[in-house]
Structures are given as C-alpha cells and as structure tokens.
Amino acid sequence: MRSCITVVLIVLFFSCTNKEIVKNQVIGEALGTSYNIIYLADRQIDYKSEIDSVFSVVNQSLSTYIPTSDISRINSGDTTIQIDHMFKEVFVLSKEIYEATNGYFDPTVGNLVNAWGFGPEEQMVMDSVKVDSLLNYVGFDKVQISSENIIVKEDANIYFDFNAIAKGYAIDRVAAMLNDKGLQNFLVEVGGEIVAKGTNVVKNKPWVVGIDDPEAVGGRELKLLINLENKALASSGNYRKYRIDSITGKRYVHTIDPITGYTKDSNTLGVTIIAENCALADAYATAFMAMDLDEAFKLISSNEKLEAYIVYFDNKGETKEFLTAGFKRIVAE
C-alpha cells in the first residue's frame, strides 16, 4: 500500500462514572500497515474477528500483493473473472475521480508503479523510451466493465493498481460494519486514514486527531489538531516514502504522475483531504499530490464535497499552508 502522511490519532480517555459508556479498542495489522479502532458502547464487545474478516475480503478482491486475488488474476490476463461488488464499487468511483481530475487519478498506472520500484512486480531501469512505452498501457478510459461484470481492457498489458483508493475503501467497509452493529460513536484508523462517526461521548466533544508536520526532522511533530465528526480523512505525502537509486543516488518519490509517467517531486509536501467517505478522500489526496499546485487549488475550490489542507513550498522556497474554509472551521483550539 502506498505511504501517506501519518495522521496521529489522539483520543484522551479519563475516568468516567457513567458505567454505561465502555471504551472498546481493537489494534492489529492489515493492508500492509497497522490499525487502531475505537468504538464506544454500553458494554465490552470484541469485534476483532469481524474487523479482520472485512480486511481479508477486501484484500482478496483488490490487493495486488496477493497472487490469487481477483485483481492479481485480472492483471495476469485472466478474462474469466466476474468481479464482486467491492471491485465494481471501487472501479466506478475511480472512473468518476479519473474524469473529475482530468486523469491525475488513474488506477491503470500500475505498470509505472511497478517499473519505478513501488509495486509488487520487478523494478525496471527507467528512461524516456521505457516511460513512453509504458504510457501506452495507462488510461482509465481504456478499461470498462461488461454486462457480465467482467473487466474489458483495450490492451491485455494494462495493469490495475487500486492501492491509492483501496485502503480508504476498506476503512469505509469496516465503518459500515460497525454502523450495522448499531454503534453510534466510533473511530476507525488504518495507517493514518480515518473514518469518524459521532463524538467522543466520554469527553462530550468531537473526536480529535492530529496531522503530522511533513518537515519534522528526527521524529514526529504535530502540525495541527482538528475535530472530526461524521467525516473521513486521508492524507498523502512524499516525505516518508521514496527510493534512493543505489548507483546514482537519485531520490525517487512514490507519487507517479499518470500524465507524464514520471515520479512527481513537486513543491507539495503533503495533502490532507476530508470527505464524506474515506475512499473519496484517499483518491483525491493522491491526485492532488500528482497535480501542480495551481491545478489542485482550482479543483478544490470547485468541489464542494472536499475540504483540504495542503503544506507546500512557495516560489521562494518558504513553507506555506492552504486551508479551505471548511477545514479552518474544524481546527482545534
């Protein structure tokens, strides 16, 4: 799974005389990272097996790191796979975001992700000829779903990589499961991406989360705290996940520009998006890292479903922050 700015979960629980409120917490590993899930109820309840089951089912559909998953078999050329509802939901949402971002979010970028050394397949020695060749297999307008729920590609070499949206989608599925259990107040955090429902009723306030400073040296420092209620949050950045070429010493970041085919080392340090669901936030955070800043600002201002916080360098090399009006309103005092 791709790296993202870690959103530090801050939940302060103090002694409470109200015995009807019980803090349930499940910690584990999934999707190549760790998870921390808190749900408040009137009794102690253990949903770990159900939570792990959700992650397992999503992985079997969408993980490129599992050779027997549906997506891996489709990438290998199997044209008999009838995709499940999860694959279809992610595909349809990806198509919408691909069009809305003018191609900057594109899950068919998988061949390039692998070639640059950030996927499960073999890394290649990259040059302009190789990049141009691989770009022939990029473009979400080159794939579709048939009436029989089978993926149809214009070229068999097209390689799907939903990792920039699958983690957010998996978090949404866990949140949906908890919601179906009748829980009114919970926080689902996986690798720094979050879905928050209700409030921290122990403190009688919204859930409070912190966003890392992308310029912190030698450890983690918080950039700011926000109140999150009935929303999802995802972040993306290049300051932690990158690869250093052992021969040239050149630094390659994990964000791939699907338009040019090259890794994107821009002035954008980190992007945090708040949306109605985590799949949406996850995908847009990735797209805005691939875009030039002016394009990102323009798209954010025209999309009422998104709130954004961007840390970037200006033309003088000074660190600046951009916050939408809605994001400013939830910054904690």
Beta bridge partners of 308: 273
What is the per-residue burial (b if ≥16 Cβ within 10 Å, else e) of 134-171? bbebbbbeebeeeeeeebebeeeebbbbbbbbbbbbbb
| CA distances from residue 55 to 158, 188, 225 in whole angstroms, order as listed | 26, 13, 28
In a domain, 216, yes or no: yes
Whole-angstrom distance, CA of residue 236 vs CA of residue 245: 22
Question: CATH number, domain at 240?
Answer: 3.10.520.10
Whether 107 and 92 have beta carbons less than 8 Å apart is answered as no
In a domain, 305, yes or no: yes
Question: Structural domain of residue 266, as residue ranges?
Answer: 7-329
Indicate the helix (H) or strand (E) that contains 64.
none
Tokens representing residue 67 in the block? 């050779």
Whole-angstrom distance, CA of residue 87 vs CA of residue 181: 24
In a domain, 2, yes or no: no
Q: Which residue has the tokens 């400013």?
A: 328
- CA 284, distance to chain mean position in Å, is 8
In a domain, 47, yes or no: yes
In a domain, 268, yes or no: yes
Tokens representing residue 177 in the block? 């499961």
Under DSSP, is residue 331 helix (H, G, I), strand (E, B) or coil?
strand
Helices (H), 138-236: 163-180
pTM exceeds cut of 0.85 = yes
- pLDDT digits (tens), the chain, 333 positions: 444 444 555 544 444 444 588 999 999 999 989 999 999 999 999 999 999 999 999 999 999 999 999 999 999 999 999 999 999 999 999 999 999 999 999 999 989 988 877 778 777 777 888 889 899 999 999 999 999 999 999 999 999 999 999 999 999 999 999 999 999 999 999 999 999 999 999 888 999 999 988 776 666 778 899 999 999 999 987 555 444 444 444 433 457 888 998 887 778 888 999 999 999 999 999 999 999 899 999 999 999 999 999 998 888 889 899 999 999 999 997
Helices (H), the chain: 48-62, 70-75, 85-100, 110-115, 128-135, 163-180, 278-290, 293-302, 325-329
Whole-angstrom distance, CA of residue 157 vs CA of residue 56: 27
In a domain, 1, yes or no: no
In a domain, 161, yes or no: yes
In a domain, 299, yes or no: yes
Q: How many CA atoms lie within 13 A of 220 on its CB side?
A: 11
Q: Quote the number of domains for the chain.
A: 1
